Chains A and B, each alone.
Chain A
Amino acid sequence: MTQTASAPPATRSRTVPPVAAPGAPTLPAFPQQPKGRIASWFEGTPGRMRAFLIVAALVSVVFGLAAAQGFNESDGALQRAEANTAQLVRIQAIHTNLVSANADATNAFLVGGLEPPAQRQHFTDSMTTAAKLISEAATAQPADQKALGELNVTLLTYQGLIEQARANNRQGLPLGSQYLKDASATLQDDSLPVLNELVKANQARVDTEFDGIGRGMIWLIVGGLVALAVLGLSLFWLAKRTHRYVNVPVAAAAVLVLLTMAIGGGQLAGASSSAKDTRNISYADTLALSQARIAAYDAKSNESLTLIARGSGTAFEEAWKESAAIVDQRLARGGSTSPAAARQWNAYKTAHAKIRLLDDDGKWDDAVDLAIGTGASTSNSAFTAFDKASGDRLNDLSDATQWELGSAGANLGLLGWLGLPIGIVAALLAAWGISQRLEEYR
């Protein structure tokens, strides 16, 4: 408010009232129309200074919030990308275990009632692992629960049919083979489509989150630029009004904002680019190797099915070729394979070629012996070695992906917490700086 407002009645006035220009009506000193308290608070230079104070402080706090939001958004996207890749790996592990179990079951069909104990154990282990992974996956991603429930239902049917096939085979009844065929069909027609949907949905989620990692930067930059503009304007205005070059606290607030932008932006860019690297290298390798393993098991099942069909198995052999081509292509990615896995896969392909040669030559029994045998250079021994080598490699790759994603955003969480305090400090600095000048008007 102006000093005159509270001046006492001019009984003993020290000052001479301004002489009005002759002829003009005198301006009454009072009764002045009382303005609103708030409006009058912002009147004149000190009022404008107050306005600057409030806007600068407010914008600084908003910058802090925007920065926090930016860091948290990127950090959240990274964490979700990590969680979703983990889920995708889990889903693909379920897929792998199921096709692996089915490869055992179809191979055992060629053997008949006397399944090799190791093969049976492998089947049981695969099913057990799949069952555990399903419940893990349902906990990890609530959006997958319904689909996983459906998958569980189909697996109950599958497992039931397999056990019936076993019981009948054990009694030497040809009926067992029909149950096995039905079981295989259940897996192909009911279980695998659900898994494909799960893979598709999780891949889409991973992609969404990877895309979202860079979005935090927008908050930081927009918030920072607005704050800098307001603080800069305040500095400029103060310099003009107060004839002092730099208001140190306000300038410090601006520097703080600038530093936060630089350091935080650097962190965000770093996290974003290392996430991009992970996406293009470790994650892509993990995905490729998973797909290679699934296709390999499919191929192995088809090898058995070709022999089971005994001469009518052309379609299965075609499917084998398709699956094998996928394996070759996925393994061709430099990072996705290990020399051991590639070598074992080639050994398996050689064994398969020998089986086909024998079968096409009418030596079905010899072909089956080679397909169910477990000795050196049989299809089973080569495949088991490939399974082990590629499985180890997959574990390494998936661990690396998780680790890289985990460490990419290591500092973002901390920055997220620091955002608001930084904003408040900047606001206090700005308020302090401007109120120093305001003091001079009291």
Chain B
Amino acid sequence: MNKTRLIAGSLALLFAATACGSSSYDATPLPVKETPPAAKPAAPPAQDCANPLQSYRPDGPLPLPNQMPAGSTMARIHSYGRLVAGVSADSLNLGSRNPITGVIEGFDIDMINAVAAAIFGTAKGHVELRVISSPQRLPVLKAPRQPGAVDIVARNMTINCARWKEIAFSAEYYHSGQKLLVQSNMTRVKSLADLSGQKVCAPAGSTSLENLIKANPKVIPVTADTDTGCLVLFQQAKVVGITGDDTVLAGEAAQDPYAMVIKAPPFSAEPYGLGMNSGEVDFVKFVNGVLEKMKADGSWQQSYKTWLEPALGKAVPPQPLYGRGD
């Protein structure tokens, strides 16, 4: 009987060892993040044309609202019922959505409203604003002209030779220049040259980015989809400065009391134009007529006073240059 006890004992041990069929699992894996290769800023496109500011001369006086010449681009827009415009919704004072009213407003928007009013008699109910990012400006204008395509872009766009190859511009409607925004306590910074080796933000696909690389190649460029995207990076201390048009930087400084636009004169000229499809020359001429009228009847000055003068000081409307295609 001794043996049986021994066997029973060892079996009980075996029982204890096998009975608890516990199982443990491998740790849940973490998702593998694909880090996109750091985008190398492409070489700025060649600016090889005589005078990019030259636009198409208006054909005489503007047609009366609601009486667009048959077969013209304006007639097509009129029959569609509204002017489709690509704008920014986050560039304070140029084109930004008022968070309280929900309305997109600013200097650029006033230009669009004036064009719509010239076609329809009133802009109210005849403007469809499409919010687009900086890199989308050229593609939306080059898209096939079908109902609902973007007719005009007013999104602080600089007129230059490279862009003239893809789209058409109106005459200059505002003369901007590129400046630098830094934290208000960085008083030792006088220009981009003082930020070598540091990160500076500019919107992707903008002339500001090209100018930044040209002005100081030692700066590490960081891009965001919009101007405001740069301001977020700035507030998160991921960049030390933002470079962009004085208009845009003024809007950004207004939203952050610790941001300061450096007083030095702009290091590039940024003439703003309204962008249109390169095939719709009649529309470009029409828009130039509208701009002339705005500058003459004081509505340009009124809009400037409302949106930009408080931050940028007094300015006069730029003189239009024509002669393209003449």
Q: Chain A: residues with CB nearer than 8 A to chain B?
A: 54, 57-58, 61-62, 65, 68-69, 72-73, 76-77, 80, 110-114, 141-147, 150, 168-169, 172-179, 182, 193-194, 196-198, 201-202, 205, 308-312, 362, 364-365, 368, 416, 420, 424, 431
Contacts and interface: CB of A to CB of B under 8 A. Distances in A.
Nearest to A310: B131
Nearest to A219: B18
Contacts of A177: 89-90, 97, 99, 228
B185 interface: no
B187 interface: no
A193 B31 contact: yes
Given A58-B7, A65-B18, A312-B130, A175 B24 contact: no
Interface in B124-164: 128-132, 136, 140
Contacts of A362: 81-82, 128
A76 B99 contact: no
Given A201-B29, A310-B104, 20 more contacts: A54-B3, A69-B19, A69-B21, A76-B23, A141-B25, A143-B28, A145-B27, A147-B28, A172-B98, A172-B99, A174-B97, A175-B232, A175-B256, A177-B89, A197-B31, A201-B25, A308-B131, A312-B131, A364-B129, A365-B102
B139 to A, nearest CB: 11
B255 interface: yes
24 contacts: A57-B7, A58-B7, A65-B14, A68-B19, A76-B21, A110-B102, A113-B99, A113-B100, A114-B100, A142-B24, A144-B28, A172-B100, A173-B99, A174-B99, A175-B255, A177-B97, A178-B228, A178-B231, A178-B232, A197-B29, A309-B131, A311-B84, A312-B132, A368-B102
A312 B136 contact: yes
Contacts of A68: 15, 19
B297 interface: no
Contacts of B129: 310-311, 364
Contacts of A72: 19-21
Interface in B52-92: 81-82, 84, 89-92
A143 B25 CA distance: 6
Contacts of B102: 110-112, 365, 368
Interface in B1-36: 3-4, 7-8, 11-12, 14-15, 18-31, 33
Contact of B99 (A169, A309, A365): A169
Given A177-B89, A311-B128, A143 B24 contact: yes
B17 to A, nearest CB: 10
B177 interface: no
Interface string B287-303: 00000000000000000
B227 to A, nearest CB: 9
Nearest to A146: B27
A72 B89 CA distance: 64
B11 A178 contact: no
Contacts of B99: 112-113, 168-169, 172-174, 176-177
A197 B30 contact: yes
Contact of A168 (B20, B96, B255): B255
A28 B59 CA distance: 144
A322 B26 CA distance: 33
B136 to A, nearest CB: 7
Contacts of A424: 8
B277 interface: no
B27 A174 contact: no
A368 B128 CA distance: 14
A220 to B, nearest CB: 14
Contacts of A416: 19
Contacts of B256: 175
Given A76-B22, A113-B99, A311-B129, A179 B232 contact: yes
Contact of A310 (B14, B130, B231): B130
B226 interface: yes
A201 to B, nearest CB: 4
A176 to B, nearest CB: 6
B320 interface: no
A434 B271 CA distance: 110
Contacts of A62: 11
Nearest to B3: A54
A57 B4 CA distance: 9
B317 interface: no
B229 interface: yes
A198 B96 contact: no
A147 B29 contact: yes
Contacts of B90: 174-175, 177-178
A25 B136 CA distance: 118
Contacts of B14: 65
B228 A65 contact: no
A432 to B, nearest CB: 12
B31 A196 contact: yes
Nearest to A80: B23
A205 B92 CA distance: 52
B11 A61 contact: yes
Contacts of B228: 174-175, 177-178
B23 A310 contact: no
Contacts of B100: 112-114, 172
Most buried by A among B129, B131, B226: B131
A152 B101 CA distance: 35
A34 B250 CA distance: 113
A431 B3 CA distance: 13
Nearest to B129: A310
Contacts of B18: 65, 69
Nearest to A372: B102
Contact of A311 (B7, B30, B131, B229): B131
Contacts of B132: 312
A142 B131 CA distance: 46
